[in-house]
Amino acid sequence: MTTEPTFPPLLTGFAVTGQIDPFEKAISLATLGCDAGTIVHNISNDYLRAAFVFAPEVTLEKACAMMIACGLGFSNALGALAPPEIAVHLEWHGGILVNAAGCGDLKIAASHNDPTAVPDWLVVGLTVPLFPANDEGGYTPNQTTLFQEGCVEVEPLRLLESWSRHTLVWINCWSDEGAAPLHAEWRSKAHGIGEDINITLQSSDIKGIFMGVDEDFGMLIRTNDATRIKPLSALLQNGDAS
């Protein structure tokens, strides 16, 4: 890839290559005090990987909404570039579904895992498989790639640029209008609301009926006659904030 991506004025690209994980690199840069709006990216033959650095001014629990903004940004970006029959949905815990099959994910980290304190930095990572690792994709019917779903003409570089622009729109929307617009859009993309859920987070099993989310996008889980909340900060890669 010889062409560098073009980002909106408030964002700055930081390219890495080879086996360097943009998510881990972004965490390192954030720890050292890089500017908010830095997007670390690595586009290979098989994957588009990127990470967005934030410097929140709100508590961690509210700042975790940036993961929602990044998910909506990707959904909008792929929707703008892919064929019209492509359907994108988002799982609460970060999974990305394209035409009902897993196609990458989002993950999140922050300078600490105290949901009531303002973090120094927050990083959201994006991974999207472009091509199958081999010609035997049928052995993993629940997993797919953009190539397998007919997105052959979606250029990864353009997708990265589009993701940055659409994500920035949602960030500004959240900053100006609060979480309500993100809630409305996310519910239209959310996978599994009203259905049984059985996932493991930080070695903790989550089982029950996924009833939706609270104002800070915490998962509402109904078991028997009780409903409990799993905060979005529980998804932090650097610890369990439950």
Domain ranges across the chain = 12-189, 196-235
Amino acid 117: pLDDT: 98
pLDDT score recorded for residue 225: 83
- Contacts with 52 (C-beta within 8 Å, 6 or more apart), sequence order: 26, 37, 38, 39, 66, 70, 123, 124, 125, 126, 164, 167
Low-confidence ranges of the chain (pLDDT < 50): 1-2, 239-242
Tell me, what's the pLDDT at 238? 74
94, 107 in Cβ contact below 8 A?
yes
* Helix, strand or coil, per DSSP, at residue 95: strand
Residue 14, pLDDT score: 98
DSSP assignments along 148-171, one per residue: TTT-TT--HHHHHHHHHHHHHHHH
* Span 12-189 CATH architecture: 2-Layer Sandwich (3.30)
pLDDT of residue 1: 43
Task: Convert the pLDDT of each residue in 61-101 to its tens digit.
Answer: 999 999 999 999 999 999 999 999 999 999 999 999 999 99
Q: What's the pLDDT score for residue 135?
A: 60
Q: What is the pLDDT of residue 4?
A: 87
Q: Write down the pLDDT at residue 94.
A: 96
- Give the model's pLDDT for residue 139: 56
Work out the burial of residue 83: count CB atoms within 10 Å of its CB; fewer than 13 is exposed, 13-18 middle, 19 or more buried.
exposed
- Determine the pLDDT at residue 75: 98
Provide CB contacts within 8 A for 216, sequence distance 6+.
61, 62, 64, 65, 179, 231, 232
156 phi, psi to nearest 5 deg: -55, -40
> Looking at domain 196-235, does it have CATH number 3.90.280.10?
no
